[in-house]
Amino acid sequence: MRINFRLGAVVAAAGALAVAVPAVAHPGPSDHPSASSHSSGSHKCSAHRVAFIVHGTVDASQAAITVTSGAVSSGTLEVHVTRTNHWAKADKSATPTAHDGFALGPKTTVTFDAGTNDISSGERVTLIGKAPLIKNKHCTGAGTVGTPTIRKVVVHPAAS
C-alpha cells in the first residue's frame, strides 16, 4: 500500500484550518460587556415581593381608623405582634409591651369576623401583604425585608 505524502499534507492543512477558523471567529474578552455592567442591570439584584403575614392584637394607644365599605381611607395600625410568617419575623415583638405601626392605604381592605364592626383596642388582627426583598446574597442590601404594603386586614373579636 502506497501512502501519498502530498495528499496527507493537504488533509492535515485542511484539518488545521478547520480548527483555527472557529477560534478566530469567536469574539475576544474585549468584545464582551464588562462584569460590572451586568450587575447593574441584573434582575437578580432587584427586589422581589414576598408574602408578609402578621398576627397580633390592636394596641391600647390605637387612634380611630375610618373604614367605609370594607376599605380604609388611611392611617397607621398599632399592633402588638404575637405571630408572623418567615419574612415578617423581624417585626415580632421581643418584649410584651412593644408594638409596631403598620401603614394602611386606600387599597387596604378590611374584613370583620364574628360580629365585630370596627377596629378597637384589644381586638385580634391579621395583616396580609407583600414586602420587597433582595434574595441574592451577593447584592447590596441582601436579605433585608423592606417596608410592607398591607393589602388586607382581618379583624377578629378580642379574646375573652
Question: What three-state secondary structure class fits 54?
Answer: strand
Do 68 and 131 belong to one domain? Answer: yes
Question: Is residue 50 predicted with pLDDT exceeding 50?
Answer: yes
The Cα 79–Cα 103 span in angstroms is 11
Full-model pTM:
0.66
C-alpha 124/C-alpha 80 separation (Å) is: 9
Considering the domain architecture, whether residues 84 and 121 belong to the same structural domain is answered as: yes
Domain with 16, as residue range(s), is 5-39
Whether the predicted pLDDT of 38 surpasses 50? no
Same domain, 29 and 70: no
Question: Which of 46, 27, 22, 119 lies closest to 76 in space, CA to CA?
Answer: 119
Tell me: do 25 and 80 sit in the same domain. Answer: no
Split into its structural domains, the chain has a count of 2
50 and 80 belong to one structural domain: yes
**Co-location of 126 and 73 in the same domain:** yes
pLDDT value at residue 37: 46
- pLDDT tens, residue by residue, 62-118: 877 778 888 887 788 988 888 888 888 877 755 555 667 888 888 899 998 877 777
In this model, does residue 140 exceed pLDDT 70? yes
Mean pLDDT, rounded, for 19-33 = 57
**Of 3, 5, 119, nearest in space to 61 by CA:** 119
pLDDT band at 130 (very low <50, low <70, confident <90, very high): very high
Is 13 in the same domain as 51? no
Q: What is the mean pLDDT of residues 37-53?
A: 73
Q: Are 57 and 108 in contact (CB under 8 A)?
A: no
